[in-house]
């Protein structure tokens, strides 16, 4: 198994509803180590930059408005195959289709206000981590453990 880093965001809906602690408990139960954390209140421009890959899609405007509407908790998680394991732990984007016990089944309101974000691939994780934690060499922790 590969030790990886991934970015996760406890989105404004879940953070404002007081679910951050419950979600972090789920991370810890799955042996996801938090190696960086930051409370953010994104500007619309910052949200648009982060979600630039979705520019032009029908949901882009509402997504960036939502993500800049209130504080969110951004974290870097480290663990064995953490990208795939976090995605499984999060559940389907649409909470109505998410498996029982997943974060989205437990805490999401709908397909857009879906409680949590997680990187979907190593390349995406690298971009997303550098977006919120520029200039921090986070990969050193993962590389050191592989040696």
Active-site residue (options: 117, 118, 128, 129): 117
Q: Are 27 and 76 in contact (CB under 8 A)?
A: no
CA distance 12 to 84: 23
Catalytic, 117? Answer: yes
Question: Where are the extended beta strands (E) located within 11-92?
Answer: 33-40, 72-80
DSSP secondary structure string for all residues of 4-31: EEEEEEE-HHHHHTT-HHHHHHHHHHTT
Determine how many CB atoms are found less than 10 A away from the CB of residue 88.
13
Q: Which residues are tagged catalytic?
A: 117
């Amino acid at each position: 198994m590969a030790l990886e880093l991934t970015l996760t965001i406890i989105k404004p809906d879940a953070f404002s509803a007081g679910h951050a602690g419950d979600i972090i408990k789920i991370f810890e139960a799955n042996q996801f180590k938090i190696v960086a954390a930051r409370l953010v209140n994104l500007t619309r421009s910052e949200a648009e930059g982060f979600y630039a890959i979705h520019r032009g899609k029908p949901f882009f405007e509402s997504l960036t408005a939502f993500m800049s509407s209130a504080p969110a908790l951004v974290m870097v998680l480290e663990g064995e195959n953490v990208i795939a394991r976090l995605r499984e732990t999060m559940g389907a984007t649409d909470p109505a289709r998410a498996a029982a016990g997943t974060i989205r089944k437990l805490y999401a309101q709908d397909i857009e206000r879906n409680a949590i974000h997680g990187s979907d691939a190593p390349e995406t994780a690298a971009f997303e981590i550098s977006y919120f934690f520029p200039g921090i060499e986070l990969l050193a922790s993962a590389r050191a453990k592989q040696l």
